[in-house]
A = this chain, B = another copy of it.
């Protein structure tokens, strides 16, 4: 690109357009096209917001019909037919089958806003202030969400201290030797200096943090540890929910029931801004209007969110497909990693990472992949991980094609 309006008018804060230097125009299924007509296979999926692919035709028609029929677009928290449809579908397809007695809050249409609301609610319920977060966590950029996020550069950008939180070692952070021991001991010694917390906030898989996986036993132990001490457990399922790891909620494999769940990204189905906070009915201590937000009633997203639940979560077809494709992805990556000494892989469902011994390799692989027509990004505290997160709906051929491109990119960098 020569000096474009992006360079001259958009702020330096822009990021992805530097990694993928082209101008995108259209997208469908697992593919994006730039204005020159070049196609890119998407192993990025809108950072998790496009689990069902681009311009999914099922949603598209419902969305266009809703708009053409003058359906309510913007409603704050007024009752609308679109919201009713979503609430009923959530209840019938998500809560009832899983035995969840959850209430639903619409907190403003971003994951950060869902996290902000979750933190507020936990503090309100308990009357305590401290929230425990984990190393390498990512929960968003607004001041509350940032206070439980790990990245030092992003924290520094707040320009103020981020108090009332305390980081704890995530599963594996200390080499796997009982990372919860410190939390448990600190909570149980009244002179530890750790103020009694309102809540713990956790991702079951840390996407931005480098595809770090919490083991099932660790999640269970964390849930028990919290329950035994009257500390609320908040799961941030913004990126790992909606089937990314297989089941609808990423925490289902551990058989735990969080007190509060933050949802966003793919919950809207079509990539439209939407977020939810779910919590046990007993925790619904909000007063009317205590948390609000102008775009908390983004009805077009309610429509596509409902259709997404109906289409993909009435049965277990998608879940099984994700797990099957995930195994194929894992196997393919293992093979690729084997060809590049020191490289390891990890993942669950359709979120996987290629971890490089030399952190700079990850960025080079991402760059090489882009040139080959594949979008993959990096993550981790030193950007040492190539993060593979395709639409859940990609075909077997697309998966293989993507693996082939990754293999080529890795070979070029590692060779």
Contacts and interface: CB of A to CB of B under 8 A. Distances in A.
A264 B16 contact: no
Interface stretch (A146-154, A310-318, A327-335): A146-154
B111 A112 contact: no
Interface string A53-91: 011000010011001111111111111110110011011
A346 interface: no
A68, A150, A288, A295: residue with the most chain B Cβ atoms closer than 10 Å: A295
A287 interface: yes
A373 interface: no
Nearest to A208: B191
Interface string A84-127: 10011011000100000001111011111100110110111001
A27, A141, A154: residue with the most chain B Cβ atoms closer than 10 Å: A141
B190 A294 contact: no
A293 B146 CA distance: 12
Complex copy number for this chain:
4
Given A11-B284, A193-B167, A79 B142 contact: no
Given A32-B72, A113-B113, 10 more contacts: A9-B90, A15-B76, A16-B78, A23-B79, A24-B78, A26-B69, A26-B71, A55-B73, A108-B112, A120-B159
Interface residues of A, number: 152
Given A104-B10, A136-B191, A15 B288 contact: yes
Contacts of A110: 108-110, 113, 293-295
A204 interface: no
A164 B79 CA distance: 37
Interface in A280-300: 284-295, 298, 300
A135 B191 contact: yes
Interface in A355-405: 380-382
A110 B136 CA distance: 26
A103, A152, A182, A192: residue with the most chain B Cβ atoms closer than 10 Å: A192
